[in-house]
């Protein structure tokens, strides 16, 4: 019985924080989710944990993902305030708006932020974004269209960033694996080997 009570109290405090300081609450949550995704990635790929990469994901979560998500969900609710909530047309319209405007923006910001924090040159970061943009977008649609349909239908607006963060744990792990410097270096190395072999 102690665990459910503590969980209820934690959710109550989180709800209060969302009401009074939504950006701060979402920044902390997003930083934790990004960090957890990075820890999982390191456990899968690295022999030893690397603190700088963990710090990078905390920065991206709190300073990029949280502000963009908080502003977007607030903007979307304001724009659709006169539409019947939970109606199929409303849910589909919100999902379409998210995939058209929000997804490309946040994915580009994520890839750009990660590249710069890893120490890559802006020109290299831009080229990487151009090369991987549509791959990331296709993966994004496979994950976020079903997630957003569920969220706009069943999740209260103030909890949508929290819900998105839980979905984002797996999405972010995929995004880190897709856009990280190590993967880029491995791909470049493979491409160089193939090029040399064909000369």
In the chain, where the domains are located: 2-185
pLDDT digits (tens, 9 = 90+) for 52-65: 989 999 999 999 99
pLDDT digits (tens, 9 = 90+) for 74-119: 999 999 999 998 899 999 999 999 999 999 999 999 999 999 999 9
Instruction: Say yes or no to pLDDT of 46 above 50.
Output: yes
Torsion 74-76-78-82 (CA) sign: negative
The encoded tokens of residue 139 equal 């993966």
Closest CA to 153 of 100, 96, 90: 90
| Cβ-Cβ contacts under 8 Å for 18 (sequence gap 6 or more) | 25, 26, 158, 159, 162
| Cβ-Cβ contacts under 8 Å for 161 (sequence gap 6 or more) | 22, 26, 29, 30, 66, 69, 70, 73
Whole-model pTM? 0.79
């Amino acid at each position: 019985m102690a665990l459910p009570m503590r969980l209820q109290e934690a959710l109550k405090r989180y709800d209060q924080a969302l009401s009074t300081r939504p950006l701060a609450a979402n920044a902390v949550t997003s930083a934790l989710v990004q960090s957890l995704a990075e820890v999982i990635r390191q456990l899968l790929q690295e022999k030893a944990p690397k603190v700088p990469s963990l710090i990078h994901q905390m920065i991206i979560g709190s300073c990029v993902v949280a502000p963009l998500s908080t502003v977007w969900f607030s903007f979307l609710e304001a724009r659709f305030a006169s539409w019947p909530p939970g109606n199929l047309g409303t849910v589909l319209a919100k999902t379409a708006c998210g995939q058209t405007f929000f997804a490309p923006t946040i994915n580009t910001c994520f890839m750009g932020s990660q590249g710069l924090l890893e120490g890559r040159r802006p020109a290299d970061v831009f080229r990487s974004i151009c090369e991987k943009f549509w791959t990331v977008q296709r993966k994004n649609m496979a994950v976020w269209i079903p997630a957003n349909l569920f969220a706009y239908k069943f999740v209260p607006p103030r909890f949508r960033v929290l819900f998105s963060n839980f979905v984002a744990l797996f999405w972010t792990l995929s995004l880190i694996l897709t856009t990280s410097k190590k993967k880029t270096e491995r791909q470049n190395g493979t491409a160089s080997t193939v090029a040399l072999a064909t000369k």
